[in-house]
Every structure is written in structure tokens, then in C-alpha cells.
Amino acid sequence: MGNGSLKILVTGADGQLGYDVCRGIGGEAIGVDVADFDITDRIAVHAYIEKLKPDAIIHCAAYTAVDKAESEQERCRAVNALGTRYLVEAAKKIDARFMYISTDYVFDGALDRPYEVTDTSNPLGVYGHTKFEGEEAVMGILKKYFIVRSSWVFGSNGGNFIKTMLRLGREHGSVSVVADQFGSPTYAQDLANLIAAVIRSDKYGIYHATNEGFCSWYNFACEIFLVAGMDVSVKPITTAEYATAAVRPTNSRLSKKSLTDAGFGLLPLWEDALRRFM
């Protein structure tokens, strides 16, 4: 893209990741959210993108209420699948590069090793299915694209697992947490810094990006209370004991091979990220 300033449009700028992506990119970022245009409205999307003519689009906006998605399938699909398709079509029209933020939920979690970018997608629930449909739109329409899959994201803006644990710990003094689902917590700020580097490159393709190291939700909760200096009893439970509307992948571990192969640095350990966040 040469030197000079870029115009980088960031969707979902009021969300947990979009907020930090705008800060990570700095002055070149143009953050938009629902108030600016509705991504489920094809005409509005095309009009906005053609008028702004960004050099690049980072698509962070998503319907992320995993359990609610099971009963709000059409709404979830409108945002994650159709909204993405409309943005992709508009990006192609103005020849902007495009980055789609995706998720570990495109996998079924049945493998007993970290997932490679080349592994077959097999989403379990509506959220994962619609995010995968978004990926398919990106890959089917564009040549200049990045797909960045992440997992277990936490940041300063919006709700997340850490904030929930701290609240429950204060209110009850004890929590029960699932101990048989494994993945990598990811600090939105660390992920945003990587996204800023990737979008300025021309190393197109699919990447997995999370903080380094793996843990269960139970391990994560224990570490949160340790760092917070809170005396909270954490009880490990199984997925079967914790009923949710959506089925979640047991194994959300993602391989970072594609990142290192492309010459991008790995993110710090999740424990380190947690301490900085706290």
C-alpha cells in the first residue's frame, strides 16, 4: 500500500474488539457502529462505503450472543452472514482490502490438537454457522482478504468472562466453572496490535490469533481470582453439568503456525495479558 496515510474503516467500533482496534490503529482508523449505518441494510452499506472509499475495512461488528443466537437465528444470520456479504461486495467494488474477524466456533472442537487454519470447519451452533457463512462470503468474493480467527476475547470495553467472574466472586464468594473446555484467552489490546500490523501488510490469507498458552475456563477463573487477590472458592464442573442453549466446542485451541509462517510475532502469554488487563 506504499507509504502515506491509509483510510481504515473499522466496523463494530463500540464493541469490545473494535474499540481497541481503533485505538491500536490510531489516526487512520474510522470507527463506525450501528448509529452510522446498519450492516444488515445492503443499500446503506454500499452507499456508505462508496462515499467513504476506505483503503481497507476491518470487520469487527458481529452478533456474538452465542446462546441467544439459537432462538434469534434470523437476526444472527442477518448480521454475521448477510451483513458481512454486503460489506464484502462493497469492498470489492472499490478494491479495498478486507479483514474479517472470525472465531474458534467455526470448528466443532472434536480434534485432540490445536486447530490449523486448513482444518475443516464444522460449526456446532447458529453463531458458529453464521460466522462461517461470513468467512465463505469473504473467500468466495474477494482476493485481497484476511480472515483472523480468535477465541475467548476480553477487553476494557463491554462485558467479558473476567468481569463476570469478579462480580460473581464478590457477590457469592464461590463460583462453579466448566473445566472440560480448553482454549486461549485473548486480550483485545494485544489482538488489536496484531490486526494493525496484518492489515498494513499484503500477506493475505487466514490466521489464528490468540494469546499464547492454553487453559480451561476453570483454570482461567482460578488465575483471575489469584491476580485479583480474592479468596473465592472455584468448583470445577463438566460441560454436561452446565446447561446452555448453544453447544460449545470442547477444544478451542488454535495453532498459530500461519502467523509465524508469515513472519508475524506471537502474542504474549495469556497469564501476562490477564495481569496487564487487571
pLDDT of residue 243: 86
Distance CA 206, CA 172 (A): 42
Sign of CA dihedral 19, 16, 229, 221: negative
Which residue spans within the chain are E strands per DSSP? 8-11, 29-32, 56-59, 97-103, 145-150, 153-154, 174-178, 182-183, 186-187, 205-208, 215-216, 233-237
Q: Cβ neighbours of residue 270 under 8 Å, at least 6 residues apart?
A: 184, 185, 186, 187, 210, 211, 212, 213, 215, 220
pLDDT of residue 4: 61
pLDDT of residue 2: 46
Pairing relationship of beta strands 8-11 and 56-59 according to DSSP bridges? parallel
pLDDT of residue 83: 97
Residue that is written with C-alpha cell 506504499 in the block: 2
Series of mean pLDDT values for 10-residue runs along the chain (278 residues):
76 96 94 94 97 97 95 97 98 97 97 97 96 98 97 93 96 96 97 96 97 98 97 96 92 97 97 97
Question: How far from 16 is each of 11, 20, 158, CA to CA, in Å?
Answer: 11, 7, 5
Contact by Cβ (8 Å): 100, 84 = yes
Q: Give me the active site residues, please.
A: 127
Q: What is the pTM of this model?
A: 0.95
Map residue 32 onto helix, strand or coil. strand
Distance CA 17, CA 256 (A): 19
Quote the cell numbers at residue 66.
Answer: 452465542
Quote the cell numbers at residue 80.
Answer: 454475521
What separation, in Å, do the N-terminal and C-terminal C-alpha atoms of the chain show?
Answer: 37
Q: Please report the domains of the chain, with CATH numbers, ordered by start residue.
A: 8-159+184-213+253-268 (3.40.50.720)
Quote the cell numbers at residue 251.
Answer: 477444544
Which of 86, 82, 110 has its CA nearest to residue 98?
A: 86
